A and B are shown apart, each in its own frame.
Chain A
Amino acid sequence: MDTIQLLLGGFGTALSVNNFFAAAVGALLGILVGAMPGIGSLAGVALLLPLTFKFNPVTGMIMLSAVYYANMYGGSYSAILINIPGDTPAVMTGLDGHPLAQQGKPGKALFTSNIASFIGGTVGIIILTVIGPGLARFGLRFGPVEMAALLLVAMTSLGWLLGDSPTKGIVATLLGILMATMGFDAVLGTPRYDFGSIYLLGGVPFIPLVIGIFGFSQVIEMMELRNKPRDFDTDKLTLRDSMLSRDEFRRIIPPSLRSSLLGTFIGVLPGAGATTGAFLSYMQEKRLGRDGHLLGTGRVEGVAAAEAGNNSAAAGAFAPLLSLGIPGSGTGAVLLGGLLMYGLNPGPLLFQNQPEFTWGLIASLYVANIVTLGVAIMIIPWLIKILKVPVSVMIPVITTICVMGSYSANNSLYGIVMMLFFGVVGFFMKKYGYPIAPLLLAFVLGPTLEKNFRQALQISDGSLAIFLQRPISAVLVAFLLITVVSPIVRRAVGKNKTKTKGESV
C-alpha cells in the first residue's frame, strides 16, 4: 500500500541519532515543564519553537512533538505524586492516581500512566495515519448544535459522578460555571460580571486558579499532617515494587483501548480537547468498566482511562490540523505556526503536495512517542523518591513553585493574589468535602457549552427544536434523558423508601 511505503520512508527520515537525541531532550524538558503547575504545553511549545528553527525541519518537529507528549506525562506526575495537576487533563488522572500514591503505590500509578499514555498516543496516531482526513471531515459535522448537546451530556454527569455527595458536587460544578462567566461574553464580545475592575475584565485567570485551588490549598492542608509519618513504608518505594503485576496489566489494557478510541474521536471534534477527552474517557470507564463504581478510590483502571483518553485526544487533534489546516487547540495553533515557518502548509492538499514531509512528520510522532515513553519510565525510580521527602520540606518548596508559576502566567502580581485567594477557597472546599475537580472541569467546559448553545439558537433563530432536528444532537439528547434524568427520578423515588438511612458518606 502506498501509505505504508510513504510511512516507512518517513521513518527513514525520522530515525537518526540526532533525532533520537532531540526527542530525548524534548521529552526531558517537556516532563519538567509539564510537572510545574502553571506552564502548560502551550507555553512550552511556543517557547521552544524559535529554538527548533536552528535544526532541520524533521528534527525540529520531533523535538516539539516530544515536548508536547512529555508535557502530558509530566502533568500527570505531579497530579499523582503531590495531587497538583500540572495541566487540566491531569485533573482526571489525579482522581485515582493520588489515592494510589497515598497507599504507597506511586510507582504503579506512574507506570500505569506511562503505559496508558503510550497506548493512547499510539492508537491515536495509528487512527490518524489510516483515516485521519476522513475522521477530520466527520468531526466537522459537530457544529454548535451537536457540540452543545455533547457538552450538556458531559456537564450533567459532572456533579453526580465525582465526589461523595451529589449536592456538593453540583454546587462545585455550578460555581465553576459561574466563575467562568466573568470577563467577556464570548458570543457578543461585551464585558460582563467584571464589577468595574479591569483585572476581572479578563475573567478569572485560569493558571493561578489551578495552582491555587489544587497546589496552595494542598500546602495549607499539609501543615496539619506535616509531622506525622507517611501511612506506608517508604522503604517499599523501589522500582521493583513499581512494576505492574501481570494481573494489573490485564486490568489496564481494556480501559486503555476503550479510552483511546473515544479520546481520538473527541480530539478530532472542534473545540474539544485533551481535557474533554480525559474526562469523557473516565466517565465511560465509570459506567462501562467492570469495577467502575470503585473509580476514585485509587484504581489503576481510572488512571489508565484518563491518561489514554487524554493522549489519544491530543493525537486526534492533529487530524484537523494536518488535513484542514485548522488547529484544534492553542497548542495546535502554535504547532501550526511552526509548520508554516518550516514552509509546510497544512491543508487539504498537504498529503498530495508534500507527502514526504507529511509522512516524515507522522513518523516523527511515533518516534517522539516511543522515546518519551523510554525517558519517562527511566525516571520513575527518581520520581518515587519524591514521596520520601518529608512533608515539612515539601511545604516551602511547593509554595515557591506556586508563587513562581502563578506570577509567570501573566507576568503579574495579580496572578499571585488570585493564587492565594483560590488556595484558601480550595482549602475550605476540601475541609467541607466539596470536590474540586468538578469545579475546575466546569470552569473549562462551561464557556464552551454556553457559546455553542447560544450559537445553536442563533442558527435556529431562537427555536429549541433544532436540537431534535439534527440527527447527532437528537441521539445525544435522547442519551441525556436516559442516563441523567432517569437516575434523578430513580433517586427521588428511592429516597422516599430509604429515607431513614440519611445521607450516604
Chain B
Amino acid sequence: MARANSRFVFPTIATAIGALWVAVGLSRYGWISDGKPSSGFFPVIVGALLAAIGIVAIVSELKIEPPRFFSVHLHPLLATVAVVVFALLVGFFPALSVYVFGWLKAYEKYTWRFSLLVTVVTIALVYGVFAAWLRVPFPRGFIMDALRG
C-alpha cells in the first residue's frame, strides 16, 4: 500500500457516534419504561443501525481511491476564524469590510477599484438586510465598547 486510505475516517467516526449513542442511551436515558418507549429508545435503535452500516461502509470504502486535499482548503477557514476574532475587537462590519477587501486585493490580486467596489456592495447588502432591516444586534467590538463605556 502506497499510503493510508483516508476514506476509513468518516465511516469510523460515524460508527463511533452510533456506538456512543447506544451506550449513553442505554445507560442514562432508558430503553423502555412502563411498556412504552423511553427517551433512549429511538436514539439507541438509530445508533445501532448507524454503527452497523458504518462498518459496512468502512469495508466497502477502502476499495476506492481516496480524494485529494490541498492546503488552500484551509485558507477560508483560517481567514474566517481570524475575521471573527477581529470582529470581537472592532465590530462586525469593520472587520468584514477589511476581510472582503483584503482577500480580494491581497490574496486574489484584484485591482483597488474592483476590490473596493465589491466590498462596498457586499457590506451594503448585508448591512441593509441584517442590521438595518432585521435589526440584529451585532457586537460593536471591545474597542467600541471601551470607548463608549
A and B touch in the complex (CB under 8 A): yes
Residues of A within 8 A of B (CB): 29, 32-33, 36, 39, 43, 47, 165, 167-168, 170-171, 174-175, 177-178, 181, 185, 187-188, 190, 192-193, 216, 219-221, 223-224, 392-393, 395-397, 399-401, 403-405, 407-408, 411, 413, 416, 420, 423-424, 427-429, 431-432, 434, 446, 450, 453-454, 457-458, 461-462, 502-503, 505
* B60 contacts A171, C-beta separation under 8 Å: no
Interface of B is mostly: helix
B39 touches A403 (CB 8 A): no
Residues of A within 8 A of B99 (CB): 396, 399-400
B11 to A: closest C-beta gap in Å = 6
* Interface assignment of B141: CB less than 8 Å from any CB of chain A: no
B46, A178: Cβ atoms under 8 Å?
A: yes
B129 interfacial by beta-carbon distance below 8 Å? yes
Q: Which residues of A contact B75 (CB under 8 A)?
A: 223
Residues of A within 8 A of B47 (CB): 178
Given pairs A400-B100, A403-B92, A404-B96, 15 additional interface contacts (CB within 8 A): A167-B56, A188-B38, A192-B28, A193-B21, A193-B29, A219-B76, A223-B75, A392-B108, A396-B103, A396-B118, A403-B83, A429-B10, A431-B69, A457-B37, A503-B64
Residues on the B chain within 8 Å of A219, using CB: 76
Q: Which of B24, B73, B135 contacts A223 (CB 8 A)?
A: B73
Query: B17's closest neighbor in chain A, by CB?
Result: A178
Contact B79 A399 (CB under 8 A): yes
**Known pairs A224-B70, A432-B10; A168 contacts B37 (CB<8 A):** no
What's the Cα separation between A175 and B38 when bound, in Å?
20
Residues B46 and A393 in contact, CB atoms below 8 Å apart: no
User: Which residues of chain B from 1 to 53 have a CB within 8 Å of any chain A CB?
Assistant: 7, 10-11, 14, 17-18, 21, 24-25, 28-29, 34-43, 46-47, 49-50, 53
Whether B72 lies near A408 (C-beta < 8 A) is no
A167 near B80: Cβ-Cβ < 8 Å: no
- Tell me the smallest distance from the CB of A386 to a CB of chain B, in Å: 12
Within B113-137, the residues touching A (CB, 8 Å) are 118, 122-123, 126, 129-130, 133-137
Query: Would B134 and A43 count as touching, CB distance under 8 A?
Result: yes
CB-defined contacts of A187 to chain B, threshold 8 Å: 39
Residues of B within 8 A of A216 (CB): 76, 80
Report if A434-B10 is in contact (Cβ < 8 Å); known contacts: A36-B129, A399-B79.
Answer: yes
A457 touches B96 (CB 8 A): no
Q: Evaluate whether A400 and B96 lie within 8 angstroms (CB atoms) in the complex, with A223-B70, A392-B108, A461-B36 already known.
A: yes
Contacts across chains A and B counted by CB atoms under 8 Å: 161
**Which residues of the other chain, B, contact A165 by a CB distance below 8 angstroms?**
60
Given A432-B7, A462-B35, answer yes or no on A420-B134 (Cβ-Cβ < 8 Å).
no
Which chain B residue has the least Cβ–Cβ distance from A165? B60
CB distance from B34 to the nearest CB of A (A): 8
Nearest chain B residue, comparing its CB with the CB of A503: B60
Residues of A within 8 A of B56 (CB): 167
Q: How many residues of B contact A (CB 8 A)?
A: 67
B104 at the interface (CB under 8 A from A): yes
With A219-B76, A457-B37: A177-B46 Cβ-Cβ less than 8 Å: yes
Q: List 18 A-B contacts (CB under 8 A).
A: A167-B57, A167-B60, A171-B50, A174-B46, A181-B42, A185-B29, A193-B25, A193-B29, A393-B118, A399-B80, A407-B138, A420-B77, A423-B77, A424-B77, A427-B73, A431-B67, A431-B69, A505-B64
Instruction: Return chain A residues, CB-CB under 8 Å to B41.
Output: 454
Q: Which residues of A contact B34 (CB under 8 A)?
A: 462
> Separation in Å of the B48 CB from the closest CB of chain A?
10
A505–B64 CA distance with the chains assembled, in angstroms: 10
CA distance A454 to B64 in the complex (A): 40
Does B54 have its Cβ within 8 Å of any Cβ on chain A?
yes
- With the chains together, A420 CA to B135 CA distance in Å? 23
B70 and A450 within 8 A (CB): no
Q: Out of B11, B21, B69, B129, which one reaches A33, CB within 8 Å? A: B129
* A413-B84, A432-B67 as given contacts; A220 in contact with B10, CB under 8 Å: no
For the complex, give the distance between the alpha carbons of A187 and B29 in Å: 13
Q: B38: shortest Cβ distance to chain A, in Å?
A: 8
**How many Å lie between the Cα of A403 and that of B133 in the bound state?**
17
Distance from A51 Cβ to chain B, minimum over Cβ atoms (Å): 10
Q: Which of B58-109 contact A (CB under 8 A)?
A: 60-61, 63-64, 67, 69-70, 72-73, 75-77, 79-81, 83-84, 88, 92, 96, 99-100, 103-104, 108
Are B37 and A454 interface neighbours, CB within 8 A?
Answer: yes
Interface centre among A39, A167, A416 (most CB of B within 10 A): A167
Q: Inside 8 A of A177's CB, which chain B residues have their CB?
A: 46
The answer to whether B129 and A416 have CB atoms under 8 Å apart is: no
Contacting pair B43 A403 (CB below 8 A): no
Nearest to B29 among chain A residues (CB) is A192
Chain A residue numbers with a CB within 8 Å of B38 are 188
With A224-B70, A423-B77 as given contacts, are A400 and B126 in contact (CB-CB < 8 Å)? yes
Taken together as a complex, chains A and B put the C-alpha atoms of A187 and B39 apart, in Å, by 8
For the complex, give the distance between the alpha carbons of A432 and B81 in Å. Answer: 25
CA distance A454 to B37 in the complex (A): 6
